[in-house]
Structure 1
Amino acid sequence: MTARVLVVDDIPTNVKLLSARLTAEYFDVLEASNGADAIEICKRGECDLVLLDVMMPEMDGFETCQRLKTDPKTQHIPIVMVTALDQPSDKVRGLEAGADDFLTKPVDDVQLMARVKSLARLKSLTDELRARAITGQAIAIEDIIDMTAGVNAEGGKILLVDSDAHNARRLMETLDQEHDVTHLTTPEDVAFRLAESDFELVIVSMALEGIDPLRVCSQIRTLEHSKNLPIILVADIPDKPKVVRGLELGVNDFILRPVERNELAARVRTQVRRYRYSSELRKSLSSTVAMAVIDGLTGLYNRRYFDRHMCVQMDKAREGNKSLGLMMLDIDFFKSVNDTHGHAAGDEVLREFSSRLQRNIRGVDLACRYGGEEFVVMMPGADLHRAKNIAERIRNAIASEPFDTGITVPLDITVSVGISINELPDDTPDQMLKRADIALYRAKREGRNRIVYDAA
């Protein structure tokens, strides 16, 4: 893994030292000597992670961090604060300013690389989610910013995995004040407990009895419903080599005993907030993907989706030497519905038509709104006989019962259908669509409310 790391410190010697360590691990390193320059570099999108010194003139690290985390353009960039200050209150202040982690000078190489690698992985995932949710889709970045701006870390649902009741009780005394904590004393049951509830964070003790704590973490990462859950390890100093291994497995953070209460609380808040932010991005991604391929009025797939999926089905049919049927449907005299009864009534007709269409095709068939009052149905494995039967079932379902729009009197609606089949060895989607379209217009010319097949 490589990433672009911005080192921010007003002392050149410190910058060069950290840069050398990171470069040796194949990270690309950028440098800044003050908070203002660091903010500009981050706004330009030139870095994936920031190592930020606290003690700087003019704008200290706390203020720099807070500005970065409150700016929608930079709030997703992980920040590790680096300082000679060793008071727990300083760590808490940094974490509450929005820092994702905290390192104390002199910086331990193992901890430095473990933190950087873990946060670089997180940044990579976040970038992918942000890009998918924004690029080329119908939602603006402002919508995502508004949605994620209010993410907080209160009332997190936490699973604490610790076989030692005394140690667990001390942790829960801190966390229970702000979160809903479930204590699990039997680590082998972690999969069942995670399936029972929507947890937002798992805390795993490294001092589990009878089971490797990293095996528990690995199990959490392999389960579909918990693979994205943040994990914090609670470890003793001799556990550091295994902690590094845990971070490589996907553990998000760790804290060493003796556990400082305020630091634990701050780290937990950071992980819960980050998880909720990622969850909102995932929801946005799901929503915008739907917006990109689903017709908002009818709930059917749209033309963009059909065009792409038709190519996939054509290739599969050709490889398997199988039939592929296609029908184009056009609602008869739809313009007069809009002109006579209004567009609201027309919209209701389109919705009801789509519903009847869906109910009368097979499960493997794909129905799409192609545009306006025109629809297409792709029928994998359908020869001409089967395609005609499906088309007739649809035609009858449309014509047999008036459409009740709730706006005007029930309307008699019919549909004209054109069919094509993949008959040629080198048939293409465009050729099939053209033949179905020609057949559809023949159906219109010959009196509507009928099905016409056009041979190749």
Structure 2
Amino acid sequence: MSARILVVDDVPANVKLLEARLSAEYFDVMTASNGTEALALASRAECDIILLDVMMPDMDGFEVCRRLKTDPATHHIPVVMVTALDSPSDRNRGLEAGADDFLTKPVSDVVLIARVRSLTRLKMMTDELRMRAITSLEIGMQAPERSAIADAGKGGRILLVDDRQSSYERLATILAAEHTIDVEPNPTEALFHAAEGNYDLLIVSLDLNNFDGLRLCSQARSLERTRHVPILAIAEAENATRLLRGLEIGVNDYLLRPIDKTELLARARTQIRRRRYTDHLRDNVQNSIEMAITDALTGLHNRRYMESHLATLAEQASSRGKPLALMILDIDYFKSINDNYGHDAGDDVLREFAVRVRKSIRGIDLACRYGGEEFVIVMPETDLHVAGMVAERLRRSIAGEPFAVHKGTKRIEVTISIGLTTLEQKGEAVADVLKRADTALYRAKHDGRNRVVSQAA
């Protein structure tokens, strides 16, 4: 795993030292000697992680970090402050500015590389989600960057796993000022609790009695329902080696005892903000996929999805020797509904029509809006006789009750014509099946509408 690291420091010797350490681990290293140069490089998306010095002449590291984290183009880039400042107030100031970590000089090679590798994994995952979500902007969805920048990281749901009462009572009291806290003192129950609780953050003590806290972290990363929940580990200072191991297996951040109240809250907020941002990205990806295959007005699948999925259903039916029924439905005189009542009324009819279609078919059946007022229903493992009964039931459902339009102020009569056929011949082209159903539909309309016409292969 490699990444491009931007080292920002105004002292050439410090830059050379970090560059040598990182290059030895096969990271691609870039350098900047001041904040202005660093902001310019980051804005061009030329780095994956930024190692940022605090004490610089033109613009200190706190201000550089703050600008990076408030810019939609750069806020997702992990920032690690590397500085000689070691007081809790300086560390908390860096975390409040949005830094992902705060390492005090001199930084050991092991700690530095472990942190960079951990953040590289995080950045790569986020980049993949961001790339997949790009299309969501093209179809009108709101980009998550603005809300992520405005998010204070408060109001999260946190599960604290700690079996020392004095410890978890103090931590829970601190965290409760900004979040909803559940405490699980029994580590053997913690994974089940985490999987069921829909948490934004897991805080795990690595000093559990008779239980390996790292094993719990590893299990959380292996379980689908907790895989993406950030983990903040807490350990004694002498357990630094185990913490580094934790970063390798997926722990997102850590704290050493004694725990500073402000730092705990700051690190929790950082992890919760990141969780919400990545969740938003995933939601955008899922929504863009759904919008690509769904008709926005009726909520049924669209023609694009039908054409691709129908071929799969037909192939499965042929290979298994099972029947496959297909019907094309057309709302009778739909143009006159639009002409006489307006297009809003036509939309009301289409939406209600889709509701009645769903009620009349099985979960395994495929219902699609084919175009305009035409719809297609595909029924796997259904012969012509059974499909005819379904079609007739649907026809009666449409004709038997008037459709409410204009917010229920008017009700109009609606009927449909249905053309029905089945896939009977092994390997028959889907286009031929659709054409046969369309021919049956034409006959239904020609013979007076409001009827079902079947046409066997």
1:138 touches 1:288 (CA, 8 Å); kept in 2?
A: no
Give me the whole-angstrom Cα distance separating, in 1, the residues matched to 2:84 and 2:448. 86
Determine whether 1:356 maps to 2:356. yes
Aligned to 2:440: 439
> Would the alpha carbon gap of residues 124 and 86 (structure 1) be closer, same or farther in structure 2, given more than 3 Å must change?
same
Bigger shift: residues 336-345 or 147-156:
147-156
Stretch moving more, 116-125 or 219-228: 219-228
Query: In the alignment, is the contact (CA less than 8 A) between 1:162 and 1:168 conserved in 2?
Result: yes
| Alpha-carbon separation, structure 2, partners of 1:141 and 1:20 | 44
Structure 1 residues 112-143: Cα deviation after superposition (integer angstroms, max 9, x where no partner): 12211221222222223333333266544654
Q: Would you say the 8 A contact 2:135–2:288 is kept in 1?
A: no
Please state how far the C-alpha of 1:30 moved relative to its aligned partner.
2.7
Give the superposition deviation at 1:213: 0.5
Which residue identity is paired with 1:185? P
Q: Deviations over 1:207-233 (max 9, x none)?
A: 100111012212323344332221111
Distance 2:225 2:64 in 1: 36
Does the 8 A contact of 1:345 with 1:407 survive in 2? no
Distance 1:303 1:167, change over 3 A: same
Q: Which residue of 1 aligns with 2:92?
A: 92
Preserved CA contact (<8 Å) 2:133 2:281: yes
Partner of 2:132: 132
The aligned amino acid for 1:413 is: V
Q: 1:250 maps to what in 2?
A: 250
The answer for the alignment partner of 2:53 in structure 1 is 53
Cα gap change, 1:136/1:271 in structure 2, threshold over 3 Å: closer, same or farther? closer
One-letter amino acid of the structure 2 residue matched with residue 328 of structure 1:
I
| Counterpart code for 1:128 | E
- Give the match for residue 416 of structure 1: 417
C-alpha distance in 1, partners of 2:397/2:104? 73
Asked whether the equivalents of residues 205 and 235 of structure 1 are also in contact (C-alpha less than 8 Å), the reply is: yes
The residue type equivalent to 1:39 in the other structure is: L
Q: Deviations over 1:150-196 (max 9, x none)?
A: 32222333222111223334434543433333332211121343356
1:201–1:271 contact (8 Å) kept in structure 2: yes
Which residues of 2 match residues 57-456 of structure 1 at below 5 A?
A: 57-135=57-135, 139-140=139-140, 142-195=142-195, 197-405=197-405, 406-407=407-408, 409-454=410-455
> Per-residue deviation at 1:244?
2.1
Look up the SS of the partner of 2:411 in the other structure. coil
In structure 2, what is the Cα distance between the partners aligned to 1:13 and 1:342? 75
* Partner Cα distance (1:4, 1:454) in 2: 64
My pick for the range that moved more, 86-95 or 330-339, is 86-95
CA contact (8 A) 2:69 2:149 kept: no
SS in 2 for 1:135: helix
8 Å CA contact 2:136, 2:284 repeated in 1: no
Matched to 1:390, the amino acid is: V
Amino acid at match of 1:216: L
Unaligned runs of 5+ in 1: none
Q: CA deviation at 1:290?
A: 3.2
CA distance in 2, matches of 1:72, 1:427: 52
Local SS of the residue matching 1:255: strand
The 2-side partners of 1:205 and 1:290 are apart by 40
Q: Distance in 2 between matches of 1:22 and 1:428?
A: 59
Q: Which segment is superposed worse, 397-406 or 201-210? A: 397-406
Question: Offset at 1:109?
Answer: 1.6
C-alpha contact (below 8 Å) 1:134/1:141 kept by paired residues: no
SS in 2 for 1:102: strand
Q: CA deviation at 1:205?
A: 1.1
Q: Contact 1:350–1:373 (CA<8 Å) still a contact in 2?
A: yes
404-413 or 150-159: bigger deviation: 404-413
CA distance in 2, matches of 1:397, 1:90: 70
Please give the root-mean-square deviation of Cα atoms over the aligned residues, in Å: 2.4
Q: Structure 2 counterpart of 1:296, which letter?
A: A
Task: Summarize deviations over 1:385-428 as a string: whole Å, max 9, x none.
Answer: 33323222222222233323355653222112223433444434
For residue 15 of structure 2, what is the aligned residue in structure 1?
Answer: 15
Is the 1:326–1:376 Cα contact (8 Å) retained in structure 2?
A: yes
Query: SS at the partner of 1:410?
Result: strand
SS of 2:226's equivalent in the other structure is coil
Unaligned runs of 5+ in 2: none
Identity of aligned residues (%): 54
3-state DSSP class of the match of 2:207?
coil
Deviation at 1:287, TM superposition (A): 3.5
Q: TM-score, normalised by structure 2?
A: 0.91
Q: Call closer, same or farther: CA 1:390–1:270 in 2, change over 3 Å.
A: same
**In structure 2, distance between residues paired with 1:157 and 1:409:** 47
Per-residue deviation at 1:80? Answer: 1.0
CA change 1:324–1:177 in 2 (3 A) is: same
Q: 1:308 to 1:9 in 2, by over 3 A?
A: farther
Contact 1:137 1:292 in 2 (8 A): no
Contact kept, 8 Å, 2:136 with 2:288, in 1: the verdict is no
Q: Secondary structure at the match of 2:345?
A: helix
The number of residue pairs the alignment matches comes to 456
The C-alpha deviation readout for 1:245-299, integer Å capped at 9, x for no partner, is 2222211111122323332222122112222222333333343333333323222
**Deviation for aligned residue 1:331:** 0.5
> Following the alignment from structure 2 to structure 1, what is the Cα–Cα distance between the partners of residues 93 and 7?
20
Name the CA shift for 1:51/1:223 in 2 (closer, same or farther; >3 Å): same
- AA aligned to 1:10 is D
Deviation at 1:68, TM superposition (A): 0.9
Cα displacement (A) at 1:344: 1.9
- The CA deviation at 1:90 is 1.5
2:376 is paired with a residue whose SS is: strand
Separation in 1 of the partners of 2:153 and 2:402?
54
Look up the SS of the partner of 1:225 in the other structure. Answer: helix
- Note the C-alpha offset of 1:454: 4.6
Q: 1:13 to 1:437 in 2, by over 3 A?
A: farther
